[in-house]
Amino acid sequence: MKTNFIENALNLFFPPACGMCGQISASYICEYCYEYLKTRAKNRLDSYDDKYFSKHFWIFEYKDEIREKIIDYKFNDKSYLYRTFLEIILNNEQAIKYIQSFDIIIPVPIHKKRLKTRGYNQCELISKSLCKQIDNVVYRNDLIIKVNNIKPQSTLTKIERAENIIGAYEISKPEILRDRKILLIDDIYTTGSTVNECSKILSETNCETIGVFSLAKD
Ligand SMILES: [Zn+2]
C-alpha cells in the first residue's frame, strides 16, 4: 500500500472519524466496527453464463448497517463515507485479489444531469481511490457514457429496470478496451440490469473479459 504524506499530516490536525459509528479513530473505520463487519462479510464470487459479464464479486448482503450507510452515501449527501468503504475494500484480501486480476476499472456512470444534482458519482469516488492504491489497474471514467437520463433504477420493479436501462449507455474509445480485462464497479448489485447493459456494450468492443464488483448485493 502506498502511504500519502499529506494525508498523514492532515490526520494529525483533523483525526478521522469512523464512518460506521462516528467515533474518532486512527482511520475511517474503527477497530471495533472493522472487526464486526468482518464477521458480516460474505465475500462471494458468483459466475454467470447467461449475462454479458462472467463474474461478480460482492462483499456484503445489502441489509442492516451496510444498507443504512450506503443509503446515506448515495442519497443523503454523505459523500465522505467513501473513505470508510474504501478502507473496508482495501483491507479485504479476497476483494483486492479479484480487483487486481483486471486491467481497467470503470465505475458505473451516472448521467451528467444527475451528477450535477448529486454533486458526485458515488462509484467514481470509490473506484478512483481504489486504483490509486492498487498497482497495475487503470481507472477510466471516460469509456462508458450515460447518454440517456433514465428514471432512477431504485424506483422501478425488476422488469421495468431491464427495459428502462436499454440504450442508456454508449462506448467512447473502444480501441482502449480491445483484449483488456474490464471491471465494472457499482455500489449495490440488485437485479444486475445496469451492469449487464454496460457489459453488453462493452462486449461489442472485443475486450477479453468483463467482471463486476460491488460492495453489496441486494
Ligand atoms: Zn466504528
User: Distance, CA 134 to ligand 1 centroid (Å)?
Assistant: 25
Would the pLDDT of 175 be above 70? yes
Average pLDDT over residues 105-132: 85
In the block, cell 457514457 appears at 145
pTM beyond cutoff 0.85: yes
Q: Residue 105's beta-bridge partner residues? A: 139, 183
- What protein residues have CB closer than 5 angstroms to ion ligand 1? 18, 20-21, 30, 33
**pLDDT, position 36:** 95
User: Distance, CA 96 to ligand 1 centroid (Å)?
Assistant: 22
**pLDDT, position 86:** 94
Tell me the C-alpha distance between 157 and 189, whole Å: 14
Whole-number average pLDDT of the chain: 90
CA-CA distances (angstroms) from residue 207 to 113, 185, 193, 200? 29, 16, 20, 11
In CATH, the architecture of 42-217 is: 3-Layer(aba) Sandwich (3.40)
User: Distance, CA 44 to ligand 1 centroid (Å)?
Assistant: 24
User: Distance, CA 28 to ligand 1 centroid (Å)?
Assistant: 8
Would the pLDDT of 150 be above 80? no
Domain ranges of the chain: 42-217
- The pLDDT-based confidence of 195 (bands split at 50, 70, 90) is very high
The strand ranges marked E within the chain are: 44-47, 55-61, 104-107, 138-139, 144-146, 169-171, 181-189, 209-217
Average pLDDT over residues 67-89: 91
Q: What is the pLDDT of residues 72-81, one digit of tens each?
A: 988 888 888 9
Question: Directed axis angle between helix 81-90 and helix 122-133, to 10°?
Answer: 40
